[in-house]
C-alpha cells in the first residue's frame, strides 16, 4: 500500500530523473489530541466515509484510526465482485447507489480503481433456483436495475467453457445476468480513497487500535487507543468482523455473528474467463483477475470465529464445485488460500446509523457482500454522521429494526451461500 505515485504525462514531460513533483501516497501525521469526527477502521468503508465527509460535509477535523495497515482487513481479502441485483427495494436501491458511484469512481478519486463491468452470472440449477431468479430479475426491472434471465443455451453462448450437460449432479438450467456488474481492484480502492481523503486534510493513522470508549451522560466523549487518548464527540465505527467487539466497548450487544469466509487463487494464466460466474447451489464462484489468476470464493463457514483461515472441508467443497462447472480447471495449480472475518446480521443486511449512545454511529453487518457497497456505504454513512440523521437510503438499515421487527431478509440474494 505504501509508495509514491506520479502521472505518466508528467514523467514523459520531465523524465524519471528530474521529476520534482513526487506525491507521497498520503500524508504521514501523528495522532492529534482531539478531532471533530473519528472513524474507527481504515478499510474501504472507513476510508470512503472519511473521504465523503471531507468532500461533501463541513464537519471540521477528521481522523481514521486503523489498528493494522490501511485496507488490510476484509478489503484486502475479498474477491471484489460488484453488482446490485438484490431482491428487496431497500437493499437493491442502496447497492445500485453504490454501483452508480463505482461507475464514476476512477475519475472522482483521480485514481484508477480498475473497475471492470464484465457482467455477473448467478447460475440456477433447480426449478426453484430458476423461479427465484425470475422473481429477482422482475424485481430488479421494477427497481430500474439491469437484469436478464438466460436459458442454459444462452449462458453457454456467453461462457463456452461452462459445462451445462444434463448429466451433471446439479445441471445448469439457466442464470440471471447483470451486464453492468463486474469487479474492481481491492487495493486500488482502499488506496484511492486514502489518497483522496488525505488530500482533503483527513489524518490517516495506522497501527492505532481503539481499546476503549469514554462515554458520559449517554454521549461519546473520547476514545482510548494504543497511541493515547483522543477527545472527540462524533465517532463512526466501521470495523467489519470486529464490530461486536467495538460495540461491547460501548456497552452495546450488536446483533451480529462473526464467521470466516474463504477464497483462493490459481497460478496466472492467459485469459480464459472474461466475466464473473456465481453459484449458491454448488457453493462456489469464479472470475479471472487482470494478473490472470482464477479468483475462487467459497460459501461461509458454519461456525463462529476470528481465525482468518476457515475450515479445510469448506474449501474442498468449493474446489469440487468449481471443477463440476469447469472440468478443465481440475489441472490448474492453486497458489494461495486465505480467510477473512465477516459480520453477518440475522437478515443478511447491513446496520447503518445511530446507536443509543449520542454521537456514536455504526456501519457494519455487510457480511459476505460489503466490497461492492464501499463507495455507497461511505457516502450514506458520511451523510448520516454529518446530519445526525440517516441518509434516506440508509434509514431502513437502522439498528432499531431488530426491536421494531422491520427486518429485510436478503439471504436469497446474498451471492454467497450462508
Residues that bind ligand FAD (CB under 6 A): 40-46, 65-68, 72-75, 77-81, 209-210, 238-240, 242, 246, 261-263, 297, 340, 342, 366, 368-372
Which parts of 297-336 interact with ligand PYC (CB under 6 A)?
297
Would you list the DSSP string of 323-342?
HHH-GGGGGPPEEEEEEEEE
CB neighbours of 256 closer than 8 A, spacing ≥ 6?
Answer: 243, 244, 247, 343, 344, 345, 351, 364, 365
Look at the block and give the residue holding cell 457516502.
Answer: 379
The secondary structure of residue 413, as a DSSP letter, is G
Quote the cell numbers at residue 73: 482487513
The verdict on 415 binding ligand PYC (CB under 6 A) reads yes
Residue 89: strand, helix, or coil? helix
Q: Where are the alpha helices (DSSP H) in 119-168?
A: 127-142, 152-158
Q: Which is nearer to ligand FAD, 130 or 352 (CB)?
A: 352
Of 189, 237, 416, 417, the one binding ligand PYC (CB under 6 A) is: 416
Would you list the DSSP string of 235-288?
EEE--GGGHHHHHHHTT---S-EEEEEEEEEEEE-S----SEEEETTTTEEEEE
Which parts of 369-388 interact with ligand PYC (CB under 6 A)?
369
Q: Which is nearer to ligand PYC, 83 or 383 (CB)?
A: 83
Which parts of 163-222 interact with ligand PYC (CB under 6 A)?
none
Query: Which listed option, ligand FAD, ligand PYC, none, makes contact with residue 72 (CB within 5 to 8 Å by class)?
Result: ligand FAD
Instruction: Count residues binding ligand PYC (CB under 6 A).
Output: 9
Query: Which listed option, ligand PYC, ligand FAD, none, makes contact with residue 80 (CB within 5 to 8 Å by class)?
Result: ligand FAD
Least distance in angstroms from the C-beta of 188 to ligand PYC: 18
The answer to whether 261 and 310 have CB atoms below 8 angstroms apart is yes
The verdict on 44 binding ligand PYC (CB under 6 A) reads no
Q: Which is nearer to ligand FAD, 310 or 396 (CB)?
A: 310
Q: Which is nearer to ligand PYC, 40 or 413 (CB)?
A: 413
Residue among 279, 313, 270, 281 at smallest CA distance from 297: 279
Least distance in angstroms from the C-beta of 23 to ligand PYC: 33
Q: Which is nearer to ligand PYC, 181 or 194 (CB)?
A: 181
The answer to whether 86 and 304 have CB atoms below 8 angstroms apart is no
Q: Which is nearer to ligand FAD, 209 or 233 (CB)?
A: 209
The verdict on 79 binding ligand PYC (CB under 6 A) reads yes
The verdict on 282 binding ligand PYC (CB under 6 A) reads no
CB neighbours of 345 closer than 8 A, spacing ≥ 6?
Answer: 255, 256, 351, 365, 367
Of 75, 84, 198, 368, the one binding ligand PYC (CB under 6 A) is: 368
Query: Which listed option, ligand FAD, ligand PYC, none, makes contact with residue 66 (CB within 5 to 8 Å by class)?
Result: ligand FAD
Part in contact with ligand PYC (CB under 6 A); list of ranges 78-86, 144-152, 214-222, 378-386: 78-86
Q: Which is nearer to ligand FAD, 66 or 293 (CB)?
A: 66
What is the rounded distance in angstroms from the CA atom of residue 390 to the CA atom of residue 394?
A: 6
Residue among 217, 258, 232 at smallest CA distance from 356: 217
Q: Which is nearer to ligand PYC, 198 or 280 (CB)?
A: 280
The answer to whether 26 and 63 have CB atoms below 8 angstroms apart is no
Q: Which is nearer to ligand FAD, 42 or 375 (CB)?
A: 42
Residue 1: strand, helix, or coil? coil
Query: Where on the chain is the footprint of ligand PYC (CB under 6 A)?
Result: 79, 81, 83, 285, 297, 368-369, 415-416
Amino acid at each position: 500500500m505504501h509508495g509514491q505515485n506520479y502521472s505518466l504525462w508528467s514523467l514523459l514531460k520531465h523524465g524519471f530523473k528530474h521529476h520534482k513533483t513526487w506525491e507521497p501516497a498520503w500524508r504521514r501525521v501523528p495522532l492529534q489530541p482531539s478531532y471533530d469526527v473519528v472513524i474507527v477502521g481504515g478499510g474501504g468503508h472507513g476510508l470512503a466515509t472519511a473521504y465523503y465527509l471531507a468532500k461533501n460535509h463541513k464537519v471540521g477535523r477528521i481522523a481514521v484510526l486503523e489498528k493494522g495497515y490501511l485496507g488490510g482487513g476484509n478489503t484486502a481479502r475479498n474477491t471484489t465482485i460488484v453488482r446490485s441485483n438484490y431482491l428487496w427495494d431497500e437493499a437493491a436501491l442502496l447497492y445500485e447507489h453504490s454501483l452508480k458511484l463505482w461507475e464514476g469512481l476512477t475519475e472522482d478519486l483521480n485514481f484508477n480503481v480498475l473497475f471492470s463491468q464484465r457482467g455477473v452470472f448467478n447460475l440456477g440449477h433447480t426449478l426453484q433456483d430458476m423461479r427465484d431468479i425470475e422473481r429477482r430479475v422482475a424485481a430488479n426491472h421494477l427497481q430500474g436495475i439491469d437484469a436478464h434471465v438466460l436459458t442454459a443455451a444462452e449462458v453457454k453462448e456467453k461462457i463456452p467453457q461452462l459445462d451445462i450437460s444434463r448429466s451433471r449432479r446439479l445441471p445448469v438450467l439457466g442464470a440471471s445476468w447483470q451486464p453492468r456488474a463486474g469487479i474492481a481492484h481491492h487495493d486500488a480502492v482502499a488506496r484511492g480513497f486514502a489518497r483522496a481523503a488525505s488530500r482533503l486534510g483527513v489524518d490517516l493513522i495506522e497501527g492505532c487500535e481503539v481499546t476503549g470508549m469514554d462515554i458520559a451522560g449517554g454521549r461519546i466523549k473520547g476514545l482510548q487507543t494504543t497511541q493515547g487518548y483522543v477527545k472527540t464527540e462524533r465517532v463512526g465505527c466501521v470495523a467489519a468482523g470486529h464490530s461486536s467487539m467495538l460495540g461491547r466497548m460501548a456497552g452495546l450487544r450488536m446483533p451480529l455473528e462473526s464467521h470466516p469466509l474463504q477464497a483462493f487463487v490459481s497460478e496466472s494464466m492467459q485469459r480464459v474467463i472474461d466475466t464473473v460466474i456465481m453459484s449458491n447451489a454448488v457453493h462456489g464462484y469464479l472470475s479471472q483477475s487482470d494478473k490472470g489468476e482464477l479468483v475462487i470464493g467459497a460459501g461461509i463457514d458454519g461456525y463462529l470465529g476470528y481465525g482468518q483461515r476457515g475450515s479445510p472441508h469448506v474449501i474442498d467443497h468449493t474446489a469440487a464445485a468449481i471443477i463440476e462447472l469447469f472440468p478443465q480447471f481440475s489441472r490448474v495449480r492453486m497458489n494461495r488460500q486465505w480467510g477473512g472475518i465477516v459480520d453477518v446480521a440475522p437478515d443478511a443486511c447491513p446496520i447503518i446509523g445511530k446507536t443509543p449512545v449520542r454521537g456514536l454511529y455504526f456501519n457494519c453487518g455487510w457480511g459476505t457482500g460489503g466490497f461492492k457497497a464501499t463507495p455507497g456505504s461511505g457516502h450514506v454513512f458520511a451523510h448520516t454522521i454529518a446530519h445526525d440523521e440517516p441518509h434516506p437510503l440508509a434509514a431502513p438499515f437502522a439498528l432499531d429494526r431488530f426491536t421494531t421487527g422491520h427486518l429485510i431478509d436478503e439471504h436469497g440474494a446474498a451471492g454467497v451461500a450462508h
